[in-house]
Chain A
Amino acid sequence: MRGARRCLPALLLLLAALPAQAGNLRWAVTTTFRNSGLAAVLLPAAQEDLGFGIDLLVVGTGQAAGLARAGDVDAIMIHARPLEEALVAEGVATHRREIMYNDFVLVGPRNDPAGIREADSAAGALGRIAKARAPFVSRGDDSGTHRRELELWQEAGIGTDARPVAWYKAVGAGMGTALNIASGLNAYVLTDRASWLTFRNKGALEILFSGDAALFNQYAFLPVNPARFAHVDAAKTARLEEWLTSERARALIDDHRLNGVALFTFNAR
């Protein structure tokens, strides 16, 4: 055990490399925000302008809401309006502030066995997939994308019983993992445009349906209520909200492009 004693100074040195995180704002965001590369643009700029650190927790919308309800974060940014309004009504969040939007798209195999290219609405496209019993990958993780998908199935009048596992695969995973599985199974999948454009394992998949108003995808910022959780840093959260709705954020968000395609549109008021 003398060897272990010898190694102790080196270990202490390593421990010193663990960052002191006290004072950092804790912000839960959805996977899109990171996977689109927007976090890598906005976060350094925000930290520089605001003069404090921000810890980004990248989770699904449902989990972000859970973190807010437990008081484990200072603010969240999610994309599921009914849930956002519920959080405000419960007193978990003080309010919701719309920041930016993009859209959902239906991705599937290039040869489009269900023929959704010709569909006249998003719900109609899902109806065609169900009719053809073509493989479809669902997030199944209570995320914003998953919630929207379930709304669309409901609109199409196709209940849970009409979606057997033979073709409907609820994978219970984040957007990237779900896209990997869809790519492997050559299946249809609902995804936000930014995640799709930045995904590197597209395989034989491509965007087959987009543009329906039902696929509009609004992101909103919700500060966790300091009246409920005393340790929440309301001052820093308010400054972040102010920054996210500033002209500087507008320029960064609108100018963030991948291969010339804009991924998000700023619409804070």
Chain B
Amino acid sequence: MGEILDGLGAAAVLVFTLDPYLVEISLRSLAVTLSAVLVASLIGLPLGAWLAVRDFCGRRAVVIVLNGLMGLPPVVVGLFVYLLLSRSGPLGVLGLLFTPWAMILAQVFILLPLIASIGLQVMGDLWEEYAEMLTSLDATPTQQMGTLLWEGRHGLLTAALAGFGRGIGEVGAIMIVGGNIDHATRVLTTAITLETSRGNFALALGLGLVLIALALTVTAAMHLIARNRGTHP
């Protein structure tokens, strides 16, 4: 119990003094995960829309694979991206290993199947409603996809938020490809791992509480933005 209260105390001190270390790693956590969500959404949502409007041989298999990869183990993705970006690997010349860019890349791999799958679910349901109308209007596939993406925007926001939720708490992949370098690639989750290994449980828990609060804040902010625009997700 004492350790938990110490954790709450540590979290309060960190937040109310706007501890520079906390601000730095929190901003980096946000930058990495929001970038990954953005990239994964830009690829995954159109992919979901395309799978919703097109029927082709093997579509079912693609959908099953996509759904299955929602549970992609981060540590395996981390290892894969590490081997890709290592100086001895195929993309080694880029020198991206142990930079935030490597962390973003790893998270894109993790979030893409999740965002695409939820997006497909949302737009697949919409397609049942709109298919007849869009076909009768002679809409091109691109127009059909555009309609689904626009009309499904509330559900798609949830897809992006699910991706954000998975990314912001992820540690397995970004530890491997980022290296947890102080002032370069340290984020909230890797800092929590570090403090736990030091036996510094109060600070670790404090950082954990900040991480949870941050995730809630971002989600609430996205919902507020959506509501102020007259759309209720």
Q: B224: shortest Cβ distance to chain A, in Å?
A: 10
User: What are the residues of chain A within 8 A of B99 when measuring CB–CB?
Assistant: 21
Which single member of B38, B87, B184, B200 contacts A72 (CB below 8 Å)? B87
A231 CA to B38 CA, complexed, in Å: 32
A-B CB contacts (within 8 Å), total count: 97
Flag if B179 contacts A18 (CB, 8 Å).
no
A21 CA to B98 CA, complexed, in Å: 10
For the complex, is A269 an interface residue (Cβ under 8 Å from B)?
A: no
Flag if B199 contacts A72 (CB, 8 Å).
no
Which single member of B41, B180, B197 contacts A180 (CB below 8 Å)? B197
Flag if A19 contacts B184 (CB, 8 Å).
yes
A72 CA to B179 CA, complexed, in Å: 11
Flag if B28 contacts A11 (CB, 8 Å).
no
* Total interface residues in chain B, CB < 8 Å: 42
A31 CA to B153 CA, complexed, in Å: 47
Flag if B229 contacts A3 (CB, 8 Å).
yes
1/0 contact trace for B141-168 toward A, CB 8 Å? 0000000011001001100100000000
Question: Which residue of chain B has its CB nearest to the CB of A195?
Answer: B198
Flag if B157 contacts A200 (CB, 8 Å).
no
For the complex, is B35 an interface residue (Cβ under 8 Å from A)?
A: yes
User: What are the residues of chain B within 8 A of A183 when measuring CB–CB?
Assistant: 199
User: What are the residues of chain B within 8 A of A6 when measuring CB–CB?
Assistant: 225
Which single member of A15, A72, A180 contacts B35 (CB below 8 Å)? A15
Flag if A200 contacts B38 (CB, 8 Å).
no
For the complex, is A179 an interface residue (Cβ under 8 Å from B)?
A: yes
Flag if B198 contacts A35 (CB, 8 Å).
yes
Known contacts A14-B31, A15-B35, A17-B27; is A72 also within 8 Å of B98 by CB?
Answer: yes
Flag if A71 contacts B198 (CB, 8 Å).
no
Question: Which residue of chain B has its CB nearest to the CB of A31?
Answer: B197
For the complex, is B226 an interface residue (Cβ under 8 Å from A)?
A: yes
For the complex, is B13 an interface residue (Cβ under 8 Å from A)?
A: no
Q: B25: shortest Cβ distance to chain A, in Å?
A: 11
A175 CA to B35 CA, complexed, in Å: 33
User: What are the residues of chain B within 8 A of A2 when measuring CB–CB?
Assistant: 229
Flag if A11 contacts B198 (CB, 8 Å).
no
1/0 contact trace for B60-99 toward A, CB 8 Å? 0000000000000000000000000011110010010111
For the complex, is B139 an interface residue (Cβ under 8 Å from A)?
A: no
Flag if A176 contacts B197 (CB, 8 Å).
yes
Question: Which residue of chain B has its CB nearest to the CB of A178?
Answer: B197
Q: A32: shortest Cβ distance to chain B, in Å?
A: 12
A130 CA to B64 CA, complexed, in Å: 52
For the complex, is B55 an interface residue (Cβ under 8 Å from A)?
A: no
User: What are the residues of chain B within 8 A of A175 when measuring CB–CB?
Assistant: 197
Flag if B31 contacts A15 (CB, 8 Å).
yes
Q: Which of B32, B160, B182 has the most CB of A within 10 A?
A: B182
Give A residues with C-beta under 8 Å from B. 1-4, 6-7, 11, 14-15, 17-19, 21, 24, 26, 31, 35, 55-59, 69-72, 173-177, 179-180, 183, 198-202, 229, 231
Known: A4-B160, A14-B30. 6 other contacts (CB 8 A): A3-B225, A11-B31, A14-B27, A57-B180, A199-B198, A200-B199
Task: Write 9 A-B pairs (CB below 8 A) sorted by A numbering.
Answer: A14-B30, A18-B32, A19-B183, A19-B184, A24-B184, A70-B88, A71-B87, A174-B197, A176-B198
